Amino acid sequence: MMDDAHKTYRVFELNQIIKEVIEGSCPYPIWVQGELSDFDKNARRFNIYFQLSEKDKAKDETLSSIRCVLYESRKARLRQRLKDAGIRLKGMDGLEVRLKVRLSVSARSGSYLLTVEDIDPSFTVGQLAQNRQRIIKSLEERGLLKKNKALSLSLVPLRIGLITNEGEGYHDFVAKLADSGLAFKVFFYQANVQGARTEKDIVAGIRFFETMIDQIDLLAIVRGGGATADLSWFDSQLITEAIANFSRPVLTGIGHFTNVSIADLVAHHYLATPTAVAEFLIERVKSFNLRVDYYATQIEQRSRVGLNQARQMVDSQRLLVQRQGKYLISLADHKISSCSDWLQRDSARVYLQNRQKIDLLSDNIGKAVEAIFQEARKQQTGIEERLKLLDPKNILKRGFSVTRFQGRSLKSAQQIKKGDQIETVLFRGKIKSSVNKLN
């Protein structure tokens, strides 16, 4: 009989021996943990092949990996177990998981892989929660949790930087702004909002808008709602740090209020959905417009009151000057008449002696009358200056306008209807227009 040391094995025979040895040494299913990769790109296939890796987190290097397969017969059960824990069977790349697997070897190729039989959803949820608390603590210690909230939000935020994918969330957000009829301008940056590329894309988008910071009033990061694990991509430390350090207020609409990500916590405002973010912006702009209309009405009303009061004051001062002037002239005439009578009775000598006093008295009377008229003119000049400040033309010169319908100033959109002809008065000129749409 030939010595086994000199025996020559056929390839299939050798692989069969290896298969028996490996599978025989591990005949039962075992639990293994690691990080998923290549799962998402194969998720739509009948059987899902992927890699399970162990990484050195400090260096972000892969220490070891093994090929795995999830057969179609197991997918429905695993999908339901993940769904019950708030995790979807998509956007899985990068997640830390604990899998129940069976080791199998192919005698045909000589390769081995792990066949997935079950998953521990609580392990993945726990890993996400631990990582979340670590990041929140780090941000708080460095003063980043409230840094973006300390920025002032524009009263009229019309220039919007938008980071999302071109899906339902994008269309909901843009359509809502367009329907408002307000002059919003949206700068769009395409980014993945779930899956392994989320972190890289979102951070790149934030850095992009930092280069055009003077062209936007705020940054909105939105996506449709999803399960807890889907939102875990927005618990990324790189994303949250980028939001906290951004030079403009950041608004998020990436889930529901019951699922708050760390990105939501560091943002200036967070809302449930892309539509809610759009509604927040619309309401803020409309609120400012209402305040402008209110103050314009107040200015117009107060200008009219002030103008009437000024006219009354001018008339009152004119009458006062006339009365005082007549009184002083009458008094002077009386004194002159008295002096004249006295002079006639006394003699030429008395007349000569008092001539100087009469001249002085006459001069003083003239000066007194002139002083009264100067004071009246000064008061009238002050009144005219105040009237100029209150003049509606000067108010228009500062950039305000007045819109009229049938000769009357408009205070509300309810005073007109579609098709009405309106007139807008500017500092220089008038604009006549037809109403096409009312909000």
Q: Read off the pLDDT band of 1 (50, 70, 90).
A: very low
Averaged pLDDT, 75-92 = 78
% of the chain with per-residue pLDDT over 70: 88
Longest Cα–Cα distance of the chain, Å, equals 180
Task: Specify whether the backbone of 109 is left (phi greater than 0), alpha (psi in -120 to 50) or beta.
Answer: alpha
- Residue type at position 183: A
Cβ atoms of residues 297 and 395 within 8 Å: no
Give 112's Cβ-side CA count (13 Å radius): 16
- Please, which contacts does 434-439 make with residues 24 or more away whose CB atoms are closer than 8 Å? 437/181, 438/413, 439/180, 439/181, 439/286, 439/413
CATH number of 11-119: 2.40.50.140
**Is residue 61 pLDDT above 50, yes or no?**
yes
Whether pLDDT at 20 is above 60: yes
Tell me the β-bridge partners of 32. 99
Q: Which CATH number fits domain 149-272: 3.40.50, 1.20.1740, 3.10.100, 3.90.550?
A: 3.40.50
- Average pLDDT rounded to a whole number, residues 69-80: 89
- The per-residue pLDDT for range 163-174, each reduced to its tens digit, is 999 888 899 999
Encoding tokens for residue 238?
Answer: 């790189």
* Residue 265 contacts residue 135 (beta carbons within 8 Å): no
CB of 307 within 8 A of CB of 390? yes
pLDDT tens figures, 97-128: 899 998 888 778 778 888 999 988 888 877 77
pLDDT at 326: 78
Better-predicted residue by pLDDT, 386 or 74: 74
Q: Which amino acid is at 367?
A: K
Q: Phi and psi for 334 in degrees, rounded to 5?
A: -65, -45
Report helix angle 237-244 to 121-141, nearest 10: 30
Residue type, 267: A
Q: What is the mean pLDDT of residues 372-388?
A: 73
Which residue ranges make up each domain of the chain?
11-119, 149-272, 287-400, 401-439
pLDDT-based confidence at residue 132 (cuts at 50, 70, 90): confident
Report the chain's mean pLDDT, rounded to a whole number.
83
Residue (of 421, 400, 381) closest to 293 by Cα position: 400
Q: What is the pLDDT of residues 176-194, one digit of tens each?
A: 999 999 999 999 999 988 8
CB atoms within 10 A of CB 366: 12
Task: Summarize pLDDT for 233-267 with one digit per residue, the tens.
Answer: 888 889 999 999 999 999 999 876 667 889 999 99
The answer to whether the beta carbons of residues 244 and 213 sit under 8 Å apart is no
CA gyration radius, the chain: 43
Whole-number Å distance between alpha carbons of 71 and 76: 10
pTM: 0.53
Work out the average pLDDT over 405-420.
80
**Separation of alpha carbons 131 and 198, rounded Å:** 17
- How many Cα atoms occupy the beta-carbon half-sphere of 293 within 13 Å? 12
> Residue range 343-371: average pLDDT?
68
pLDDT higher than 80, residue 52: yes
Residue 38 or 367, more confident: 38
